[in-house]
Amino acid sequence: MSYNNILLSSNNGVANLSINRPKKLNALNKETLDELHAAFADLEKDAEIKVVILTGSGDKAFVAGADISEFAHFSEEEGGRLAAEGHEKVFDFIENLSKPVIAAVNGFALGGGLELAMACHIRVASQNARMGLPEVSLGVIPGYGGTQRLPRLIGKGRAMELIMTAGMIDADRALSYGLVNHVVPQGQLLDFCGELAGKISNNSPVAISYAIKAINAGFKNSNGYAAEIAAFGACFGTEDFKEGTSAFLEKRKADFPGR
């Protein structure tokens, strides 16, 4: 499938997906959101892909926000539908993907851009990254999961302050808050994410998919412990479990069937 606003390539089981609207600082418009959904849906079904790295084209922005020109004149009903469709097609879809998604946050990640990064499973920031949710300065609130995911990641008080001041924080502050996992020089960002993806790819893709499901369950209106128990038990019926335990007992490196 060809795309107008994203670039997609893969190598050794790792997909590299880049939002490619550098003149618009990679702002999310409807077409881009639709293309992201299509790309992630294809990656989910691709047995060769084990990890996805998501970033933005250029050196200025991961995603600088949503394309305000598309919704500035929306009604209440249209605004609600915009948020609901965004959750379903992209943000919740990424969060619940069975394959790990690493956000390589280069430059600005604001509004919908930060919400996109937060929907990913792991976040790595370049030293020039700047993050924030400025929506209240436009008379609206974060609508793509920002009011829910940010407090889970950095705590309620810090999230309240960041959202209500519409301010930005730099990469080091984001690291100290727990908003990102690592901060690296900009020139090393994609290589670092690639190395991290490689470490993940060495492990059982089936077990990783169950781990994602169990972890997410604990942050939803469900019993995370029950989900963990069910997922743990399900692993025992997989070929990956048989190979992993056999390799351990035989003192060799596992060759998981899913890889």
* pLDDT, tens only, 105-143: 999 999 999 999 999 999 999 999 999 999 999 999 999
Say whether pLDDT at 224 is over 80: yes
- What is the set of active-site residues? 115, 135
The predicted pLDDT at position 223 comes to 83
Spacing of C-alpha 165 from chain mean position: 24
The predicted pLDDT at position 147 comes to 97
Beta bridge partners of 244: none
**217 in the same domain as 188:** no
What CATH number should be reported for the domain holding residue 21?
3.90.226.10
pLDDT band (50, 70, 90) for residue 67: confident
The predicted pLDDT at position 2 comes to 84
**20 in the same domain as 145:** yes
Q: Is 30 exposed, middle or buried (0-12, 13-18, 19+ CB in 10 A)?
A: middle
**Mean pLDDT of all residues in the chain?**
95
Domain-embedded: residue 1: no
Q: Which residues contact 31 (CB under 8 A, 6 or more apart)?
A: 4, 5
Number of domains in the chain: 2
Domain that holds residue 234: 205-249
**228 in the same domain as 188:** no
Domain-embedded: residue 144: yes
Domain-embedded: residue 148: yes
Q: Compute the average pLDDT of residues 196-214.
A: 96
Domain-embedded: residue 145: yes
Of 102, 112, 109, 119, nearest to 181 (Cα)?
A: 102
Q: Which residues contact 53 (CB under 8 A, 6 or more apart)?
A: 14, 15, 16, 17, 101, 102, 104, 190, 193, 194, 197
**146 in the same domain as 94:** yes
Of 158, 204, 196, 149, nearest to 177 (Cα)?
A: 158
**234 in the same domain as 106:** no
**195 in the same domain as 101:** yes
Contact of 225 with 111, CB cutoff 8 Å: no
Q: Could you report the per-residue pLDDT of 151-188, keeping only the tens digit for each?
A: 999 999 999 999 999 999 999 999 999 999 999 999 99
**142 in the same domain as 18:** yes
Strand-strand pairing, 51-56 and 122-126? unpaired
pLDDT band (50, 70, 90) for residue 258: low
**170 in the same domain as 242:** no
